[in-house]
């Protein structure tokens, strides 16, 4: 079956699929025949047929509902729909743009206003719309990157690349796919329970595009692709962005569909005063707002005396303010009730309205069996990689929700820009097409992060984190990973090749090499006086075998060869009188076997509100080396929250048994922000460690505009100590600290300001940027 493609005219670009007037739904029993005629009949029918009133006696005017764009302000459309339903005012066709296309498309598919409101209340639409994934859904490698880096850039043969949008819209499209699963993927939207058209903009020409057939979720997604924020959508080879650029209040489209009376709901944001434009981003947003206001004014000029304009009073509610959805819905209800005197003449009797709802209700879902599964890809990832992650095969009943779970796992794997599904129905053939789009800004990725720290107890410093990722070097999935740190006290480089051994279970081998050079302060553990500073250099190479534990965590075991060298910055003779040096150089080399288990289910690595974390590892000298040792270490975190209040608790312990691990010659350390905060960074060192912390956090504010995200205030209670070899583990009193701090989270990492106190009058004041320091 060949569908008409988008065609360009001198004034607009339209997706034109018009059924014959005889294909308009004259009665409920003819609905299936409608779809058939829409597919095979010529497309000469007049556009006004799609908004035809069905079986009304006496005859009444056809009513077209026009819903404008406006982001979260679009929740007001729900309030308007609720009032229309309560007062039995019919809607015969819908034209929507952006958020208006979202609400209008769901309503046109047969969902009532009450059902839509209930569903939207049960999801975090802000997180879904902006592709905010639960950390627990990410692979462990991405969670580790999240702790080190705050941003990334892609580059290739053509130079540095950026995504076409900050948000790819995968989660939102999957949600729409679930909620409109009863709608065939390649039918005209005029065959929906309520005929529906969405508006988009051709990114190349700037022409208006009327989306009236194909995939309903894809059409809605294209209509809301705000340039710069959401990535453009591709339909029939045409790149589309938000329809608000050309027709944010598509009154003319409703007229073209045949509406005699238009109910237009304008929820657009007001232009801001000049004194509120304090940044280039503000000016760009105002410029976009001017363009939208101009096209809305042209559309509103087409309203006649018989039409009704509804303008909910939404004040300063922003297009990202999804948290105040209830206020927007209430504003829509209030505005619609105020317009009732102009609408009441359209109201139907209870019997007529019941007949109208029955004629416009969706058909019962009929199970469809998939006849084939096709993967379309645009890059280096083999289609088999996608197929191996799908649980659907030919002969299975089509279940879009289950398929979306598989696609979500692929989307969050980091390999793809988007992974979408569409069921193509062609007679008895029901072909499931999976479109897997690799990241257009690859194939090389540079990651970066920044950390700075200053406190009253040490000199402070900085660290710049740089990483490199090159996935899919070979069809088997070989990945090259590089992580480096350039700092005032640390220089390190880690490079690793990660080769998958199984696409089903994810087993991999990882040969690696690393280099580190650092300065380590030596303190007197009793007085806290800094005695010296060591320059320590280590190199290590090894081979690990890894097992991903689903999205729970990761387990690695392997062998490594390491050697290290250390020397003091300054020196003197010891007190023994034998001309020995007080701070001798040291050198060592070892072959070790080590194993590490990491489980990370925290919702946030910096301010966890729920979940748990565990990091357990053991390392032991191998092959009978002269300096035999066993090193044990473990750390656990649990977090829980109630409203804006949260508590997280952690316990950390470690011990070196026997000799010295040359990679960690100074043993375990305590001190620094959130690690016994009243003491200087790494002030306490020893061969064994015990530490515990409880932190209370109060989320004072959430910001809806980047780069700021949230404002927190908190207090931490800490206790711990270190012990040298020969001392009994846990002997003596624990050192204690209490910290009061506030933090602002941002796109550049967290910014902390805090003060810590310890018994004996010890205190430490902190200013720190980033979690990486």
Q: What does each C-alpha distance from 492 to 356, 459, 486, 525, 576 come to in angstroms?
A: 71, 20, 7, 27, 37
Task: Name residue 110's beta-bridge partners.
Answer: none
Annotated catalytic, 207? Answer: no
What percent of the chain has a predicted confidence (pLDDT) above 90? Answer: 54
CB 479 within 8 A of CB 502: no
**Could you give the residue range(s) of every CATH 3.10.20.310 domain in the chain?**
372-438
Query: Which two tokens mark 90?
Result: 């019919």
CATH number of 372-438: 3.10.20.310
Q: Is 98 a catalytic residue?
A: yes
Give the pLDDT confidence score for residue 706 in this predicted structure.
Answer: 59
- Architecture in CATH for domain 7-129+168-359: 3-Layer(aba) Sandwich (3.40)
SS3 247: helix
pLDDT tens digits, one per residue of 584-642: 888 889 999 999 999 999 998 888 999 999 999 999 998 765 578 999 999 999 999 99
The single residue of 207, 242, 307, 544 carrying the catalytic annotation is 242
Q: What is the pTM of this model?
A: 0.81
Please report which confidence band the pLDDT of residue 456 belongs to, taking 50, 70 and 90 as the band edges: confident
Range list for CATH 2.40.160.50 in the chain = 444-769
Closest CA to 234 of 469, 420, 375, 96: 420
Taking 3-state DSSP, the helix, strand and coil percentages for the chain, each rounded to the nearest 5, stand at 25, 40, 35
Query: SS3 letters for 726-742?
Result: CCCCCCCCCEEEEEEEE
The pLDDT of residue 151 is above 50: yes
Q: Which of 62, 98, 688, 737 is catalytic?
A: 98
pLDDT tens digits, residue range 121-140?
Answer: 888 888 888 888 889 999 99
Do residues 320 and 709 lie in contact, with contact meaning Cβ atoms separated by under 8 Å? no
CA angle centred on 441, ends 245 and 603, rounded to 5°: 90
Catalogue the E-assigned strands of 439-552. Answer: 444-455, 461-470, 479-487, 490-500, 508-523, 530-549
pLDDT at 183: 85
Strands 668-670 and 684-686, how do they pair? antiparallel
Q: How far is CA 285 from CA 96, 227, 276, 335, 761, in A?
A: 22, 11, 12, 27, 52
Q: Distance between CA 737 and CA 684 in Å, rounded?
A: 14
CB atoms inside a 10 Å sphere around CB 156: 12
Name the residue with higher pLDDT: 448 or 6. 448
What is the sign, positive or negative, of the torsion defined by CA atoms of 554, 557, 560, 565? positive
pLDDT for 659 equals: 83
Confidence bin at 55 (pLDDT 50/70/90): low
Strands 261-265 and 63-67 come out as parallel
Strands 708-723 and 688-702: antiparallel
**β-sheet bridge partners, residue 308:** 263
Beta strands 165-167 and 228-230 are: parallel
Would you say residue 11 has pLDDT above 90? Answer: no
Q: Within its chain, how far is the Cα of 519 from the centroid? A: 38
Confidence of residue 101 (pLDDT cuts 50, 70, 90): very high
Helix (H, G, I), strand (E, B) or coil at 153: strand
* 3 state DSSP class of 262: strand
Buried b / exposed e over 624-637, threshold 16 CB at 10 Å, is eeeeebebebebeb
Helix (H, G, I), strand (E, B) or coil at 323: helix
* Angle, CA 490 vertex, CA 499 and CA 616 arms, to 5°: 50
- The two counts, helices (H) then strands (E), for the chain are 16, 37
Contact 659, 696 (CB under 8 A): no
3-state SS class at 431: strand
What integer pLDDT is reported at residue 29 of this predicted model? 33
Q: Which helix (H) or strand (E) holds 210?
A: strand 208-211
How far is Cα 227 from Cα 291, in angstroms, rounded to an integer? 13
> How many residues make up the chain in this entry?
773
CA distance linking residue 227 with residue 204, whole number of Å: 13
User: Nearest Cα to 47, choosing from 26, 62, 35?
Assistant: 62
Phi, psi at residue 164, to the nearest 5°?
-70, -15
Under the banding of pLDDT at 50, 70 and 90, the label for residue 23 is very low
Q: How confident is the model at residue 527 (pLDDT cuts 50, 70, 90)?
A: confident
pLDDT of res. 13: 38
CATH value of 444-769 in 3.40.640.10, 2.40.160.50, 3.40.50.2300, 3.40.190.10: 2.40.160.50
Q: Confidence band (pLDDT; 50, 70, 90) for 85?
A: very high
Picking from 3, 54, 4, 61, the residue whose alpha carbon sits closest to that of residue 24 is: 54
- Per residue in 185-222, pLDDT tens? 778 999 999 999 999 999 999 999 999 999 999 999 99
If we measure between CA atoms, which residue out of 610, 120, 119, 96 comes closest to residue 324?
120
For range 149-156, the mean pLDDT? 90
CATH 3.40.1090 range(s) for the chain read 7-129+168-359
């Amino acid at each position: 079956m060949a569908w008409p493609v988008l065609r360009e005219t001198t004034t607009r670009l339209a997706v034109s699929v018009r059924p014959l007037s005889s294909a308009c739904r004259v009665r409920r029993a003819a609905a299936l025949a409608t779809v058939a005629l829409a597919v095979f009949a010529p497309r000469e029918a007049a556009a006004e047929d799609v908004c035809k009133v069905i079986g009304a006696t006496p005859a009444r005017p056809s009513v077209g509902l026009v819903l404008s764009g406006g982001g979260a302000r679009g929740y007001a459309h729900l309030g308007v729909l609720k009032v229309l339903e309560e007062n039995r005012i019919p809607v015969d066709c819908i034209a929507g743009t952006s958020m208006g296309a979202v609400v209008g498309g769901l309503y046109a598919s047969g969902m009532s206003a009450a059902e839509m409101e209930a569903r939207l209340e049960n999801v975090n639409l802000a997180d879904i719309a902006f592709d905010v994934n639960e950390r627990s859904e990410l692979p462990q490698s991405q969670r580790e990157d999240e702790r080190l880096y705050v941003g990334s850039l892609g580059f290739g043969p053509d130079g540095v690349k950026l995504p076409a949008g900050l948000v790819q819209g995968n989660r939102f499209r999957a949600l729409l796919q679930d909620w409109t699963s009863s709608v065939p993927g390649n039918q005209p939207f005029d065959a929906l329970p309520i005929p529906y058209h969405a508006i988009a903009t051709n990114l190349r020409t700037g022409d208006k595009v009327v989306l009236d057939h194909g995939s309903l979720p894809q059409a809605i997604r294209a209509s809301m692709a705000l340039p710069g924020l959401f990535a453009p959508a591709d339909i029939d080879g045409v790149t589309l962005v938000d329809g608000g650029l050309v027709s944010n209040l598509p009154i003319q489209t409703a007229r073209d569909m045949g509406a005699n009376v238009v109910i237009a709901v304008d929820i657009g944001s007001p232009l801001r005063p000049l004194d509120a434009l304090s940044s280039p981003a503000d000016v760009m947003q105002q410029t976009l707002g001017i363009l939208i206001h101009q096209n809305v004014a042209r559309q509103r000029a087409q309203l006649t005396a018989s039409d009704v304009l509804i303008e909910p009073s939404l004040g300063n509610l922003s297009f990202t303010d999804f948290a105040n959805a209830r206020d927007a819905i209430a504003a829509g209800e209030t505005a619609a009730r105020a317009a009732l005197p102009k609408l009441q003449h359209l109201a139907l009797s209870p019997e007529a309205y019941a007949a109208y709802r029955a004629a416009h209700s969706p058909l019962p879902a009929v199970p469809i069996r998939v006849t084939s599964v096709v993967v379309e890809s645009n890059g280096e990832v083999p289609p088999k990689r996608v197929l191996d992650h799908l649980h659907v095969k030919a002969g299975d009943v089509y279940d879009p929700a289950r398929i979306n779970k598989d696609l979500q796992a692929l989307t969050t794997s980091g390999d793809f820009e988007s992974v979408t599904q569409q069921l193509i129905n062609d007679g008895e053939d029901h072909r499931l097409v999976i479109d897997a789009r690799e990241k257009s800004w690859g194939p090389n990725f540079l990651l970066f992060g920044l950390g700075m720290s200053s406190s009253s107890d040490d000199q402070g410093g900085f660290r710049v984190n740089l990483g490199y990722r090159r996935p899919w070097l070979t069809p088997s999935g070989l990945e090259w990973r590089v992580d480096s740190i350039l700092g005032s006290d640390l220089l390190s480089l880690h490079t690793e090749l990660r080769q998958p051994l199984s696409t089903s279970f994810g087993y991999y081998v990882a040969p690696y090499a690393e280099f580190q050079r650092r300065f380590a302060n030596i303190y007197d553990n009793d007085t806290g006086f800094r005695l010296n500073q060591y320059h320590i250099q280590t190199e290590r190479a090894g081979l690990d075998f890894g097992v991903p534990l689903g999205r729970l965590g990761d387990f690695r075991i392997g062998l490594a060869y390491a050697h290290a060298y250390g020397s003091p910055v300054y020196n003197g003779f010891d007190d023994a009188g034998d001309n020995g040096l007080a701070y001798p150089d040291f050198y060592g080399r070892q072959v070790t076997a080590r194993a590490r288990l990491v489980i990370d289910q925290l919702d946030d690595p910096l301010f966890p509100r729920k979940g748990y974390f565990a990091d357990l590892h053991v390392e032991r000298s191998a092959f009978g080396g002269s300096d035999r040792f066993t090193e044990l270490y473990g750390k656990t975190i649990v977090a829980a929250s109630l409203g804006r209040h949260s508590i997280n608790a952690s316990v950390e312990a470690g011990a070196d048994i026997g000799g010295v691990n040359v990679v960690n010659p100074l043993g375990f350390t305590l001190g620094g922000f959130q690690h016994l905060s009243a003491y200087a960074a790494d002030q306490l060192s020893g061969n064994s460690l015990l530490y515990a912390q409880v932190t209370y956090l109060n989320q004072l504010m959430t910001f809806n505009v980047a780069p700021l995200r949230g404002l927190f205030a908190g207090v931490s209670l800490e206790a711990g100590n270190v012990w040298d070899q020969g001392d009994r583990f846990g002997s003596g009193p624990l050192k204690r600290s209490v910290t009061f701090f506030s933090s602002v989270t941002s796109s550049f990492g967290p910014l902390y300001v805090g003060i810590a106190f310890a018994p004996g009058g010890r205190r430490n004041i902190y200013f720190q940027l980033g979690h990486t320091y």
